[in-house]
Structure 1
């Protein structure tokens, strides 16, 4: 086992965490997972997870005695969320999970039992780089499966045999590719082969879990090469059968356009690139992946892109919203930079002003408002004097 010390970082010294350490006892807990891994890489830490030898009921009691509020977010699997005061009215949430070992698995869910040793808990984790533990006071790192070496060489490697670990949880196929896209430089041949051979098992997973992993992959800075590899190895066709090589190329072009125009990549926009530009297809994929209503609407809008959308970007953005317009332009290979900082103007005309001109309140007022607004947009949002002139023309007509 290699040992080192977690390098200097601000998050282990946060006020809320000090109180949690006092409540649970430093020797009963370890920081684990992404916070440790990302600190070693010099990346920003977003989520802090804690593993503990204490059972959930003891964690709850100790936190209550220390004035820490807890929520039993995953108590069936030993997880308690501690909500900590972090100074200045800020809140910090930490997932505290009792160390576990798998008793049985069926590829979708696992039956677990509480463990006694840190190594047992490490052995049930997916990748070596996610099984690094840091003592909360000394910050000494405990590495049971060579994660430090793999992190240094940027290798995403399963703990144990890749096929066995995937058989325990089929979602690990998609997790492997996501972690490979984010951290990997050196490919693991065993993992690549196992993912290809077991790709069909993804069909048995819940659609929400698949969608979550797929979108998290597409949200990474440049997932293009990984997505291509997933396609070539028969993994992507299982979860996204609508995709072909043309769409893989479209994704590469989109990512390049986003980078050149300094526009943040968006996973729904990138998903649209992997699909034919058909609203029916977009609706079907959104339903199958059980996307949220907002995600579905954005995906469908992107699928409705037309070459004529590029003729007047501001009009497009006014009618659709800026994000939707940016999606369409980028997917068409057009320049969307002028919209990145553009604020759509507010149509200043009100119904009361039309009523004051002698039009009876009712549907006719709404019709006139819409007519004037359409002309105002067509003329690229002229000033109020021109709006008055347009209104006069409409009323005269």
Structure 2
């Protein structure tokens, strides 16, 4: 049965026809491949576009330059050139076959055999090609049927595919969470479990990137449960266990109930023990940015109850307050509304105003300002008249104490 790629807005982006013409799509030399074809068949938005071609990278660059299209050799050692059309990047990769691999990187050779290129890809649903002119789908391994059945499986032998790139273990569960029906392919699951220790050979950056992509999926919980039950994460993230799933489930429910967009970092915080020191250690191990590490630690520093939401946000930042409110099962969700589109104000009074009220310059000025700020925050950031009263009362208190 012939399958066709449905029409969609992304196929009419400015400059795409000229790019396809330069790559010889009309002569069968270039096809859409991978995620764009998969998501296009599902009617999902397509943001990242990949094109496969029989041309080698040098041939791609020459064709693009002749057509006046910007070419960036982003991954030329792996056969990938990025074309930039109207500010939109399109990855163009030459057909390849693996010569050798150590599970982290592959030595490749170029080929003009589409099936050979498809055979080195990970999952059947990712090894789909579409002719840009006829829209016909080329499917060597039953990927279209798997997509319809929401069946995520490796191409050929799962153990062999994982041996080529250990990261495919984590990718499997991300794709299962996004495109599957929460029931893993038996061969794939067994192969992932058997090879879990091989994740230790990967860079922590790659592990973090894949884990955060999984946590960004709408419903990652069933896939994560399979991973934890199968001992997949234990070699690299032993802090995540079955109790982690209960915390994540509670967070996901609160995100949904409050219509708060999911956050992968917030969900990672839910998976970790509620200890900021552990969160920082995990963040360091995963080579997260300093900003991401701080967010994890702040989210787990304590409960959200005990002070009004805006007072909390003034102290730790709006993002941190939202994280804490969602992670704390005892915090009323109504508090989130107070933070929507709210920017913490600056205390509209300085030391000069206190000195003008008669407080002598010195350490008392900073102490008085801190007390004024504490009262101002506790009272919900009142306006100028009330703030002036607070300042007068605080200065008087300090003056009395000096007498």
Distance 2:68 2:362 in 1: 59
Question: 1:242 aligned to 235, 239, 243, which one?
Answer: 239
Contact 2:30 2:131 in 1 (8 A): yes
Q: How far is the alpha carbon of 1:356 from its aligned partner?
A: 5.1
Residue equivalent to 1:390 = 390
Distance 1:77 1:203 in 2: 24
Distance 1:255 1:237 in 2: 23
Q: How far is the alpha carbon of 1:370 from its aligned partner?
A: 3.2
Distance 2:54 2:349 in 1: 65
Q: Is 1:15 aligned to residue 11 of structure 2?
A: no
Counterparts of residues 175-186 of structure 1 (less than 5 Å):
175-185=171-181, 186=183
Distance 1:67 1:361 in 2: 68
Q: Is 1:255 aligned to residue 252 of structure 2?
A: yes
Q: CA RMSD in A?
A: 1.8
| 1:209-266 deviation per Cα after TM superposition (whole angstroms, max 9, x unaligned) | 0000111001111111111110000102222101222221111111111112211111
What secondary structure sits across from 1:176 in the alignment?
helix
With the length of structure 2 as denominator, give the TM-score of the two structures: 0.92
Distance 2:145 2:339 in 1: 41
CA 1:104–1:381 in 2, change beyond 3 Å: closer, same or farther?
Answer: same
| 1:71-108 deviation per Cα after TM superposition (whole angstroms, max 9, x unaligned) | 111110011111112xxxxx111011111111001111
Distance 1:340 1:123 in 2: 50
CA 1:130–1:310 in 2, change beyond 3 Å: closer, same or farther?
Answer: farther
Residue equivalent to 1:344 = 343
Distance 2:82 2:362 in 1: 54
Distance 1:362 1:48 in 2: 63
Residue equivalent to 2:57 = 56
Distance 1:287 1:41 in 2: 38
Residue equivalent to 2:325 = 329
Contact 2:279 2:297 in 1 (8 A): yes
Distance 2:322 2:338 in 1: 7
Distance 1:43 1:29 in 2: 22
| 1:279-311 deviation per Cα after TM superposition (whole angstroms, max 9, x unaligned) | 2111110110001111101101112122x6354
Residue equivalent to 2:153 = 157
Distance 1:71 1:389 in 2: 63
Contact 2:347 2:373 in 1 (8 A): no
Gaps of 5+ in 1: 86-90
Question: 1:148 aligned to 132, 144, 148, which one?
Answer: 144
CA 1:366–1:94 in 2, change beyond 3 Å: closer, same or farther?
Answer: farther
Q: How far is the alpha carbon of 1:369 from its aligned partner?
A: 3.5
Residue equivalent to 1:233 = 230
Pick 1 or 2: higher relative contact order, CA cutoff 8 A, min separation 6.
1
Counterparts of residues 1-397 of structure 1 (less than 5 Å):
2-26=1-25, 27-85=28-86, 91-185=87-181, 186-306=183-303, 309=305, 311-333=307-329, 334=331, 335=333, 336-351=335-350, 353-354=353-354, 357=357, 366-396=366-396, 397=398
Contact 1:227 1:236 in 2 (8 A): no
What secondary structure sits across from 1:76 in the alignment?
helix
Gaps of 5+ in 2: 399-403
Q: How far is the alpha carbon of 1:395 from its aligned partner?
A: 2.3
Contact 1:37 1:130 in 2 (8 A): yes
| 1:347-380 deviation per Cα after TM superposition (whole angstroms, max 9, x unaligned) | 3514354465566888765544433222210111
CA 1:382–1:197 in 2, change beyond 3 Å: closer, same or farther?
Answer: same
| 1:319-355 deviation per Cα after TM superposition (whole angstroms, max 9, x unaligned) | 1112211111111113153245150341351435446
Distance 1:310 1:134 in 2: 57
Tell which deviates more after alignment, 250-259 or 330-339: 330-339
With the length of structure 1 as denominator, give the TM-score of the two structures: 0.94
